[in-house]
Structures are given as structure tokens and as C-alpha cells.
Amino acid sequence: MTATPRLGAIAVLVEGDRVLLAQRGKSPDKGLWGFPGGHVEPGETALEAARRELREETGLEARPVEYLTNIDLIRRDEAGEVTVHYLLAAVLCADPVGTPQADDDAQDVAWFPIDQIRAGALPMSARVGEVMELALTRRRALSR
């Protein structure tokens, strides 16, 4: 069986020297830390989806700023058949309001020091560090 590609969005929120991550409660990547996110609903832009998923998974409100990058998440079974295929739009978000609390399909949610992510001190989804660095670069450029 080959999975049909689905569009998803992740909310990338970096504030000061920390980054917000959610621990996935469901497959794919169950138990791993990554950016809050999920499916883009029909009629919804990826920026709107990132804002909604952030609210649903963490209780935080934030402003979607811009697209950062796209991530292909493809998983295969032992026979090499595609079982999961997502195209994730990473969205830089800013100005968070509220206190993060895990909800929806997030097992846990927390702010982590950027240095801890750089050190690989958490079990993380692929490309979390790379996307975080891209977000830091864009934030610096936007603040000029």
C-alpha cells in the first residue's frame, strides 16, 4: 500500500534563548520532541493551520510570520512501501500569549534552551535543529 501525500504545517516558535517543542503522542514520531503541528484542513492556509495547531496542542496563541521551509516526512515499511507521506510547511511564529499546556495529540509541551537542542540532548524528530537554526536566522533578519 502506498500512502497518499498529505499537507501539514508546523509552528516554529523561538523566543529569546528558548524554543517551544511538543512531545508527539501519536505516530508518526510518537514520543519524539518536535514542533507543534498537524494537518492542514480544507480551505485553510498553511499559516492558518500552524496557528490553529499551536493553539490546539499547546494552548498558546501566536502570530504566524512567514514560511521557513518545507519538510518531506516519508516512512516506509520493511518491503519499502510508503506508509506515511507528509509535506510539512514550517511556519515561523512570534508573539506567543499564554502558558503552554499539552493537549490534543501532544503528550507534553515545554520551552527548551536552544543550547540543549543544539547538543541533541532530547529524542527529536528529524530536522528540528536545522529548522530551529533557520528560524533564528530569519528572526535576526526580521528584527533589523
Q: Which pLDDT score is estimated for 103?
A: 86
Rounded to two decimals, what is the model's pTM?
A: 0.92
pLDDT tens, position by position, 76-135: 999 999 988 999 999 999 999 999 999 878 899 999 999 999 999 999 999 999 999 999
Tell me which DSSP letter residue 5 carries: P
Pairing of strands 61-76, 37-39: unpaired
Position 28 in a domain: yes
* Domain that includes residue 11, residue range: 6-143
- Residue 29: the pLDDT is 83
- Any idea what DSSP says for residue 121? -
In a domain? residue 19: yes
Question: Could you tell me if residue 1 is inside a domain?
Answer: no
Q: Looking at the domain assignment, is residue 109 inside a domain?
A: yes
Q: Is the pLDDT reported for residue 10 higher than 60?
A: yes
CATH code for the domain in which residue 74 is found: 3.90.79.10
User: What total number of domains does the chain contain?
Assistant: 1
- Identity at 107, one-letter amino acid code: Q
92 within domain boundaries = yes
Can you give the three-state secondary structure of 124-144, one letter per residue? ECCCHHHHHHHHHHHHHHHCC
Q: Is residue 25 part of a domain?
A: yes
- For residue 65, tell me if it sits in a domain: yes
Residues 61 and 13: their CA atoms lie apart, in Å, by 11
> How far, CA to CA in Å, does 2 sit from each of 39, 49, 73, 137?
19, 25, 14, 37
Q: Read off φ and ψ for residue 15, nearest 5 degrees.
A: -130, 120
Residues 58-72 pLDDT 10s: 999 999 999 999 999
Contacts of 49 (CB under 8 A, 6+ apart): 8, 9, 37, 38, 39, 40, 41, 89
Q: How many CB atoms lie within 10 A of CB 34?
A: 24
Residue 122 lies in a domain: yes
